[in-house]
Amino acid sequence: MKTRTQALIDIADWKFDLCVIGGGATGSGCALDARLRGLNTVLLEAGDLAGATSSTSTKIVHGGVRYLEAAVKNLDPAQYRVVKRALQERIRMLRNAPHLSRTMEFLLPCYRWMDAAYYDIGLKMYDWVSGGASIFPSHFLSKEETLRRMPGLKRAHLVGSVAYADGQFDDARFNITLVESFAEAGGEALNYARVVGFEKDSSGRVIEAAVEDQLTGRKFAVRAAAFVNATGPFSDTVRALGTPEIAPRMRLSKGIHILLPLELMPGADALLIPKTEDGRVLFAIPWMGRLLVGTTEQEVGVHDELYVTKNEVDYVLHHLNQYLERPIGADRVVSGIAGARPLVSSGDSRDTKKLARDDELEIDSKSGLISIMGGKWTTYRAMAEDTIDAVQRQLCIPKTECLTKNHPLIGTEGYTADYWQVLVKEYGVSKDTARHLAEKFGTRGPRVLELAREIPALAEPLLDGSPLLRAEVTYCARNEMALTIEDVLFRRLGVQVYGWRDAIRTAPAVASILRAELGWSAQAEQHAIEQYVGKINRYLQLAGLSAETAANGATAQSAGGAN
């Protein structure tokens, strides 16, 4: 991707065929689809790419076992269609970005034979709905086999488990890779660029977006023949910019995850807890060397700050511990993530967990603004296909074939599961570094390592003992529009998810590289560190954990890539 400075020059005050607002999964998917169909497209993101919901998911590529259960129980064909479509998309996501996604087996432990029969039938149905898009069939595991694969499970009364397959992916990097793929195809993308208003022609149709550069406050215009609003939880705000009197449609449901050391529940499989006390499902999933556990559901407002609270930590652990032989204490939590599901209200449902994760495409007859609302990460591509079909109809141009079904994202060309060995062989890096680079950058890994070859200081670890290299930060600043410590540590390298304390310790090293790359002053560097450390310490405290200072000299854990 070009630098942000260059992108700003190429975007501000120019005219495009299509302007996509929102750089999450949905907007990035729309931008890529439009560009591949030949539309001159610009993508504008108010914060960082993947900066909102799309980096806070459970990271499962799935049809949704729970939604299938609801479809059957309520004889609801709408829920059934959501599951069916997502299952078809699941296989495409796995195929188009193999370095960022993988299949995973989920074990559903059963403590009564009746439950085993119920879940076995339910998951056979999940297999059946996936049809030709199936990964592999679900099957029953004996008690012994279940405990061999998940030794930490509570043993008393366990009769076995039902195992089924779904996908798992790196949500934040998948999102960034989508934008990079869009840019590679000739699209223009800009982060920290908020749409704050629209200019309309005499008939009331939107012809221009007023955009505010969030770094400088400077305002500029972007003209386009069509505008897509893909702002997830913020959809109503942007819809109201188009037509102020429009009725709101979004219901936001906060969900959190906590991360724990993987050794607390060793194994390669994920655990599905079928029913919490408030009727939800809970997952405990190995992810990037940690155990990701969640999630929760609580209705929130669009302006609510999202963070993990101590009560939420206790809630998640309370339910997980009911399934474990040795309970896990809250002091073992290493980090957390909070996000808001952008659900489209169906009118009367009071309970957000009953709202189907379906999407809705709206074309505002007054302003012409096309809003794509709701949906799931797994269905981002299908949502984008429907949206760009609508854009072509609105522009009165012939509908062309959607090309994203079989469009490998960048970093996948020549990628195989043992690709990391190429990096070890050709660049002499450690196995952990090679695995981490292959997982995050795919076959773009050598570009990072070439930087390290050119400038030996960049071949140093980001922190003593860490497999991450300083070159990764330079690469992210130069090629992935990373502008802040959090852009690097949360969304691009995953250290903040691996551990809040690891992130605090790594922040000064990241800041010094960003200073060199972005031309910060010493004061700006110091300010960036203080802001970041302050924010993460606040997260620690809100989650009921003790704060950490940046300069305590503690040895860093290796971040990411250790699995």
Ligand X SMILES: Cc1cc2nc3c(=O)[nH]c(=O)nc-3n(C[C@H](O)[C@H](O)[C@H](O)COP(=O)(O)OP(=O)(O)OC[C@H]3O[C@@H](n4cnc5c(N)ncnc54)[C@H](O)[C@@H]3O)c2cc1C
User: CA–CA distance from 69 to each of 115, 255, 435, 536 (Å)?
Assistant: 14, 21, 37, 38
User: CA–CA distance from 450 to each of 181, 453, 458 (Å)?
Assistant: 21, 5, 10
Rounded to whole angstroms, the Cα distance separating 52 from 56 reads: 7
Residues 61-100 binding ligand X (CB under 6 A) are 62
Nearer to ligand X, 51 or 494 (CB): 51
Inter-residue contact 129 to 63 (CB < 8 Å): yes
Residue 250, H or E segment: strand 250-261
Q: At closest approach, how far in Å is the CB of 532 from ligand X?
A: 19
Nearer to ligand X, 214 or 430 (CB): 214
Q: What are phi and psi of 562, to 5 degrees?
A: -90, -5
Which part of the chain contacts ligand X (CB under 6 A), choosing from 51-59, 112-120, 345-353, 393-401? 51-59
Q: At closest approach, how far in Å is the CB of 190 from ligand X?
A: 9
Residues 293-312 binding ligand X (CB under 6 A) are 295
Residues present in the chain in total: 563
Under the binding rule (CB under 6 A), the answer on residue 195 touching ligand X is yes
Give 193: exposed, middle or buried? Use CB within 10 Å, 0-12, 13-18, 19+: buried
Q: At closest approach, how far in Å is the CB of 146 from ligand X?
A: 23
Chosen residue from 342, 368, 467, 561 binding ligand X by CB under 6 A: 342
Nearer to ligand X, 26 or 404 (CB): 26
Q: At closest approach, how far in Å is the CB of 397 from ligand X?
A: 25
User: CA–CA distance from 120 to each of 103, 137, 155, 281, 398 (Å)?
Assistant: 20, 11, 20, 16, 47
Q: At closest approach, how far in Å is the CB of 376 from ligand X?
A: 4
Under the binding rule (CB under 6 A), the answer on residue 508 touching ligand X is no
Which part of the chain contacts ligand X (CB under 6 A), choosing from 35-43, 340-348, 477-485, 499-507? 340-348
Structure tokens at 483: 């502008």
SS3 content of the chain, % helix, strand, coil (to 5): 45, 20, 35
Under the binding rule (CB under 6 A), the answer on residue 56 touching ligand X is yes
Nearer to ligand X, 183 or 533 (CB): 183
Site string (458-497) toward ligand X, x via CB under 6 A = ----------------------------------------
Q: At closest approach, how far in Å is the CB of 378 from ligand X?
A: 4
Under the binding rule (CB under 6 A), the answer on residue 25 touching ligand X is yes
Residues 227-246 binding ligand X (CB under 6 A) are 230-234, 238
Chosen residue from 4, 35, 37, 59 binding ligand X by CB under 6 A: 59
Under the binding rule (CB under 6 A), the answer on residue 336 touching ligand X is no
Nearer to ligand X, 58 or 557 (CB): 58
Peptide bond connecting 295 to the previous residue in cis, omega within 30 degrees of 0: yes
Under the binding rule (CB under 6 A), the answer on residue 335 touching ligand X is no
Residue 537, H or E segment: helix 522-542
Under the binding rule (CB under 6 A), the answer on residue 45 touching ligand X is yes
Under the binding rule (CB under 6 A), the answer on residue 339 touching ligand X is yes
Q: At closest approach, how far in Å is the CB of 429 from ligand X?
A: 31
Q: At closest approach, how far in Å is the CB of 475 from ligand X?
A: 22
Nearer to ligand X, 61 or 438 (CB): 61
Under the binding rule (CB under 6 A), the answer on residue 340 touching ligand X is yes
Chosen residue from 80, 174, 227, 377 binding ligand X by CB under 6 A: 377
Inter-residue contact 271 to 262 (CB < 8 Å): no
3-state secondary structure 242-302: HCCCCCCCEEEEEEEEEEEEHHHCCCCCEEEECCCCCCCCEEEEEECCEEEEECCCEEECC
Inter-residue contact 448 to 475 (CB < 8 Å): yes
In DSSP terms, 250 is beta-bridged to 344
Under the binding rule (CB under 6 A), the answer on residue 368 touching ligand X is no
Q: How many CA atoms lie within 13 A of 57 on its CB side?
A: 24
Under the binding rule (CB under 6 A), the answer on residue 23 touching ligand X is yes
The distance between the two most distant Cα atoms of the chain, rounded to a whole number of Å, is 72
Under the binding rule (CB under 6 A), the answer on residue 21 touching ligand X is yes
Chosen residue from 7, 18, 32, 53 binding ligand X by CB under 6 A: 53
Classified as helix, coil or strand, 287 is: strand
Inter-residue contact 230 to 218 (CB < 8 Å): no
Nearer to ligand X, 405 or 447 (CB): 405
List b or e across 365-395, with b for residues whose CB sees 16 or more CB atoms inside 10 angstroms. Answer: eebbbbbbbbbbbbbbbbbbbbbbbbbbebe
Inter-residue contact 69 to 279 (CB < 8 Å): no
Under the binding rule (CB under 6 A), the answer on residue 292 touching ligand X is no
Gyration radius (Cα) of the chain, Å: 23
The single-letter DSSP state of residue 490 is I
Q: At closest approach, how far in Å is the CB of 106 from ligand X?
A: 12
Nearer to ligand X, 377 or 498 (CB): 377
Q: At closest approach, how far in Å is the CB of 232 from ligand X?
A: 2
Neighbours of 554 (CB within 10 A): 12
Q: At closest approach, how far in Å is the CB of 55 from ligand X?
A: 7
- Positions that interact with ligand X (CB under 6 A): 21-27, 44-47, 51-54, 56-60, 62, 194-195, 230-234, 238, 255, 295, 339-342, 375-378
